[in-house]
Amino acid sequence: AQKVTQAQTEISVVEKEDVTLDCVYETRDTTYYLFWYKQPPSGELVFLIRRNSFDEQNEISGRYSWNFQKSTSSFNFTITASQVVDSAVYFCALSEDLRGSARQLTFGSGTQLTVLP
Amino acid sequence: ETGVTQTPRHLVMGMTNKKSLKCEQHLGHNAMYWYKQSAKKPLELMFVYNFKEQTENNSVPSRFSPECPNSSHLFLHLHTLQPEDSALYLCASSRGTGVVDTQYFGPGTRLTVL
């Protein structure tokens, strides 16, 4: 089973629409961190947010917001009033503190978001 | 300001060539990473260095040879590659290798092996 599942492979929206990218994770650890990265066509993964497993408060940063729910093992990402520049591949990632091993950062397969003008 | 730089951005090489990828981080981090990103596959961790010491080799073929002369520089030496090695190679760095440490990525080198 995948540790990080991004079931939406591709999403297309029209500019100014809101869009939510889903992320479901699986871990046996009580201490872990979740991340979102954005990868525009240029290729660089841009760090967006990091949340720890003990902080379930939702976070808002401008047009971006994140909904972390431990009960459903989900960490969803919403873009409000989407813009063409939001078009990119978005990756969710999980960092676990595996006992006896080095920390692993596991990425989901990514969601390609296309925002049409 | 670009925290992690990679050169070259694009590389085309034949199967018998030898080339090197370079990564430099300007963030004062101690850990550096190489990832491979192939089409339609999740990012694959290749190597991890912490304080210049290799701490992880994720079963990478020996035709990929990493080198970390100091905490700011990381190289990936390539020789006798296969066409299936064509991919985007991403470098990342982080303050440490703990569960809390965020990795920051470079722009990648897009490698094509003919």
What tens digit of pLDDT does each residue of A84-98 get?
999 999 999 999 876
For residue A11, the model assigns a pLDDT of 97
Distance from CA of B29 to the nearest CA of A (A): 16
Q: Compare CB distances from B43 to A95, A97, A107 and report the shortest one's residue.
A: A107
d(CA A82, CA A45): 19
Tell me, yes or no, if A91 comes closer than 8 A to chain B by beta carbon: yes
Is 60 exceeded by the pLDDT of residue A101?
no
Tell me, yes or no, if A43 comes closer than 8 A to chain B by beta carbon: yes
Question: If you write DSSP's letter for every residue of B25-53 in order, what string do you get?
Answer: E-S--SEEEEEEE-TTS--EEEEEEETTE
d(CA B62, CA B52): 19
Question: If you write DSSP's letter for every residue of B71-104 in order, what string do you get?
Answer: TTEEEEEEES--GGG-EEEEEEEES-SSTTPPPE
What tens digit of pLDDT does each residue of A5-25 get?
999 999 999 999 999 999 999
Instruction: Count CB neighbours of B66 within 10 A.
Output: 20
Is 80 exceeded by the pLDDT of residue A99?
no
What tens digit of pLDDT does each residue of B52-94 get?
888 888 889 999 999 999 999 999 999 999 999 999 999 999 9
For residue A2, the model assigns a pLDDT of 61
Q: Compare CB distances from A50 to B45, B56, B102 and report the shortest one's residue.
A: B102
What tens digit of pLDDT does each residue of B29-59 get?
999 999 999 987 889 999 999 998 888 888 8
Is 60 exceeded by the pLDDT of residue A102?
no
